[in-house]
Amino acid sequence: MRNLCWLALLSCSWALADTQVKVEANTLLRLPVSGATLVLARLEVAEHATLLLPANLNELRVTELLLGRDAHIGIAPSTQGFRLVVLHGDLAAGSHISTRGAAGSSKKPALAGRDLNLRLENVRLSDLTVDLRGGAGAAGQHGQNGLAGEAGGCLWGQASDGENGQSAGNGQPGAAGGQLRLEVPADFDPQALKYSLQGGAGGAAGAAGQGGRGGAVNNCLLYDTVGGNAGQTGAAGKAGSSGPDGSFKRVPLTPISL
């Protein structure tokens, strides 16, 4: 009984949703959404167009979804999973849906691919790609080179040694790939869907700083001064580890319940 009530409420809310969004061919649209859930009666992304959805949006329900050839829907990274529900749709060849993570930086770690729950009810498609790859780790910082030593004078002091180079930083680890949960009818053709779940690549190792050259030799009138020793090269950094791959799970299409 609860399931029937929920289905009636869902059907009613979708029928009342008269919002339509269209992205023209060869254009990019950032959809301004303040809430966590968005219900659309019709969403059309024309060929070679891109629709970007913000990180705060966690669920998109569409009565009719039309994706042109090489159309893209990009969903911003977030630790919160994303749910996309489509009642009817026609997805042309080369269409893409991406919840790919973000690359790391010296101040922020890489972000994982966003988990995606994709429910396709009565949808025609032949070549859909879903990208849930994790973000790449940031490269390690390079070590600074050591300063050169000062030359010795003929009437004062010996030449000084060059300073040692600084050790390099390690590359940051890549982030994990996302988890894809696919809800489709029993007759869905698995060859129509491609997905990428790889973890992000680890950041490259930083380069070690070079040792500074020793102070120069001076050829004096009565004697020669001794040159300084060169500084030592710093230790090289280590490459970051790759993030773990995500996972894929296909489940049968069942009525939505509370």
What average pLDDT does the segment 88-113 reach? 96
Region of residue 82 (phi > 0: left; psi between -120 and 50: alpha; otherwise: beta): beta
Where residue 147 falls among pLDDT bands split at 50, 70, 90?
A: confident
Instruction: Give the mean model confidence (pLDDT) for residues 147-151.
Output: 79
Closest CA to 152 of 229, 223, 225, 231: 225
Instruction: Return the higher-pLDDT residue of 114 and 253.
Output: 114
pLDDT tens for 203-257 read 999 999 898 887 676 666 555 556 678 889 989 899 999 999 999 999 998 766 4
What's the pTM value of the predicted model, to 2 decimals?
Answer: 0.79
What integer is the mean pLDDT of 73-102? 97
Contact (Cβ atoms closer than 8 angstroms) between residue 188 and residue 171: no
pLDDT above 60 (res 18):
no
Higher pLDDT, 224 or 10: 224
